[in-house]
Structure 1
Amino acid sequence: MSGFDGTWLALREPVDHAAREMALVEALAQALAPIDAPSLVDIGCGTGSTWRYLSSQLPERTQWLLVDHDPLLLTDARHRIGADHPVRFQVHDLTDVAELPLEGVSVVTASALFDLCSRAFCETLIDRLTRTGCGLYAALNYDGTMTWSRPHPLDDAVVAAFNQHQRGDKGFGPALGPDATDCLTDLLTNRGFHVLTGDSPWQMDHGHAALQSAFLKGFRQPLLDIGDLSDGEIEAWLSFRLATIEAPENLCRVGHRDLLALPPKDWV
C-alpha cells in the first residue's frame, strides 16, 4: 500500500479543508442528527485531518474510530487530537475489508483514498456497507483535471501521463484514478444508496508555495515511469512550473470530487 509522510499531509490539509463541498457536509450532519449515538469510522485516516474538519460540523455525541495501516501516522493523529476528545484509534490493513470494524457504524468516511483503490476493492467495501447498513462519505477523490493560470505547451501531455500513472497499482489493485467517484456512484446507486456528489477542487495560489512545490516535484517519477515525455521535456515543464509558483497571478486548480451515499433504511 502506498504511504504518505506527515509533512505532505500537513502541507495539503488547509487546501483539503477549503476544498470540501459544504453541501455534502451539511447533508451528512443532517443525516446523523436523529441518531442517538452516531458512529463514524475514518479509514486511511492519516494524521486525523478528516476528524479535524468534520468533528465541529457533526453532532457532538458522534463517536469516532480512526483507522490506518501506518502506526506512525496514527501516533501523530493521537498526539494532535489529544486526550480531551473521545476518539479511538486502530491499526488495520485496509485491504482486509472483511475485518474492518463496521458493525453498528453509521458512516464510513475516507479522504483522498478511493482514487488509489481498484474497482474490486470498492465492490468488496460496498458489499460490506450494504450488509451492515453503513453510509459512505468519500471526499477529495482526484478527478483527472488540472489547470494553471499560466499555460505551458506540455500541460495536456503531462496531465495525460500523470493520469495514466494514477491508474497503476497503489496497493489496492489497479487504481481507479480519475474514475473513482463515477465508479463509486454507479456501484452505490445499483445497491439502492442515495448518492450525492459535488466538486471539491484544490485552489492553490502563491500563498501555497510549499504545497505547490511538493506537488510539482512529485510529478517527476510518475512522468519518467510512463515514458511518453522525454527527460528534457519533463525538466523543462517542471522548471517552468516551479519558477511561476510565487507569481502573484499564479493559480493552480486540481479537480477533486466528494461523495455522500446514504443507505436505503431508516436510521432513527
Structure 2
Amino acid sequence: MGFSAEWLALRDPADRAARDVALLQRAATAAGPAPLVVDLGCGTGATWHALAPLLPEDTRWRLVDNDPALLDIARAVVGEAAECIVADLGDLDALPLEGATLITASALLDLMPEAWLSGLAQRLEAPFYAALSYDGRMEWTRPDPRDDAVTAAFNLHQRSDKGLGPALGPDAVDRAEALFAAQGFSVFRAESPWRLGPDMAELQHELTRGIAVAACETGMADAESWQRDRHEAADRSSCIVGHADFLAVPPVRPRETAHV
C-alpha cells in the first residue's frame, strides 16, 4: 500500500484544485487555537500544503507514513514544525494520536478496510479530516463505449484487498459518514472531483494506465485497447474523476463539576 513520489507530484495540482475550500476551512477551525495535527499517510506533505496556510504559525505537525523515503521529502518541506514517524498505517494501536487536536489524511480512506475505519471512529476523540477519497465516478468528454465497463472493473479492483483486507474503495466516504455518526460525531461531506483537461494530459496518461492495469487484473479483456485510445486522445479530451472530502467533529463533552 502506498504511492511513489513521482505519482504524488504528478497528481498534486489536481488534488490542490479539487479540495473543497469550505470544508478545508472548517477543518482548520476544528483544529482549535493551539493545533497539533497528526497526518496519516502524509506522503510528501500534500495535506500540510493545503491546510497550513489556514492554521496558526505555531501549529505542530506529526507526519506519519509507512514509507521512510516519502517522510524524508515531507520533512524537508515542512521543516522544524514536523515530527516524522514511520508507522504501519494498518495497525491502529501503532498510530501516534496522543495529544492530537486534528487528525488528517488524504487519498487514504478508499485503500483501507471497513474494520480499520470502524476502529478509528471508535478510538478518536479529536476531529478527523479525510480528503480526496475516490467515489467511483468517472466521466469523459469524448465518451467511449467501453468507459462504463472499465469503470466498473476498476471499482471492483478498488474494493480488493490492499494488504489489510477488502478495501472500502468507492464506498469509503459513505461508510465513514455512517461509522462516525454512530459514534456521535457530527459529519460533513463535500464533493472534490478531479477535473483534468488537455493541459493535464500527462496525468491523464498515468491515470488511464493505472486504471487499465487494475481493470485487466479483474479479467477485462478490452482494458488495454481502451487505455491506448485514451492515451492518444488525452491532449484533446477532459475527464472528471469523482472524489469526496470528509470531516467528523466529536461531540462536546460536558466538563465534570467539582463538588466540595
TM more than 0.5: yes
How far is the alpha carbon of 1:117 from its aligned partner?
0.5
Q: Give 1:259's aligned residue.
A: 246
Partner of residue 197, structure 1: 189
1:144 to 136, 148, 151: 136
Indicate conservation of the 8 Å contact 1:29/1:59, yes or no: no
Cα displacement (A) at 1:27: 1.0
Which residue of the partner structure matches residue 181 of structure 1? 173
Report the counterpart of residue 169 of structure 1 in structure 2: 161
Would you say the 8 A contact 1:192–1:263 is kept in 2? yes
| 136, 145, 153: which one aligns with 1:153 | 145
Query: Over residues 167-210 of structure 1, what are the superposed CA-to-partner deviations in whole Å (9 max), with x where a residue is unaligned?
Result: 00112211000000000000000111011000000000011111
Counterpart residue number, 1:55: 52
Paired letter, 1:186: A
> Which residue of structure 1 lines up, in the alignment, with residue 2 of structure 2?
3
Amino acid at match of 1:260: L
**Which residue in the other structure is 1:243 paired with?**
232
CA contact (8 A) 1:102 1:134 kept: no
Letter in 1 for 2:206: A
**TM-score, with length taken from structure 1:** 0.91
Pairs aligned (count): 255
Is 1:135 aligned to residue 124 of structure 2? no
- Could you tell me which residue of structure 2 aligns to residue 28 of structure 1? 27
Deviation at 1:238, TM superposition (A): 1.2
* CA-CA distance at 1:219 after TM superposition: 2.0
C-alpha separation in 1, matches of 2:254 and 2:129: 16
Aligned-residue offset at 1:166: 0.2
Q: Note the 1:34-45 alignment, pairs <5 A.
A: 35=33, 37-45=34-42
Aligned equivalents of 1:71, 1:267: Cα separation in 2: 41
Find the counterpart in structure 2 of residue 77 from structure 1: 74
Structure 2 counterpart SS, 1:164: helix
2: distance between equivalents of 1:223 and 1:210?
20
Partners of 1:147 and 1:254 within 8 A in 2: yes
Distance 1:175 1:79, change over 3 A: same
CA RMSD of aligned residues (A): 1.5
Checking the alignment, whether the CA contact within 8 Å between 2:213 and 2:223 is kept in structure 1 is: no
2:235 is paired with a residue of what secondary structure? coil
Q: Which amino acid aligns with 1:94?
A: L
Shift of 1:95: 1.4
* Alpha-carbon separation, structure 2, partners of 1:238 and 1:144: 18
Deviation at 1:61, TM superposition (A): 2.6
Question: Given that residues 115 and 179 in structure 1 are in contact (C-alpha distance below 8 angstroms), is that contact kept between their aligned partners in structure 2?
Answer: yes
Q: 1:266 deviation in Å?
A: 5.8
Residue 258 of structure 2: aligned partner: none
Pick closer, same or farther for the CA change 1:267–1:172 going to 2, 3 Å. Answer: farther
Preserved CA contact (<8 Å) 2:28 2:51: no
Q: Which amino acid aligns with 1:61?
A: D
Separation in 2, partners of 1:251, 1:76 = 31
Deviation at 1:48, TM superposition (A): 0.8
- State TM-score, norm by structure 2: 0.94
2:232 maps to amino acid: A
- Displacement of 1:267 in angstroms is 10
Counterpart in the other structure of 2:97: 102
Stretches of structure 1 lacking an aligned partner (at least 5 in a row): none
Contact 1:29 1:57 in 2 (8 A): yes
**Aligned sequence identity (%):** 47
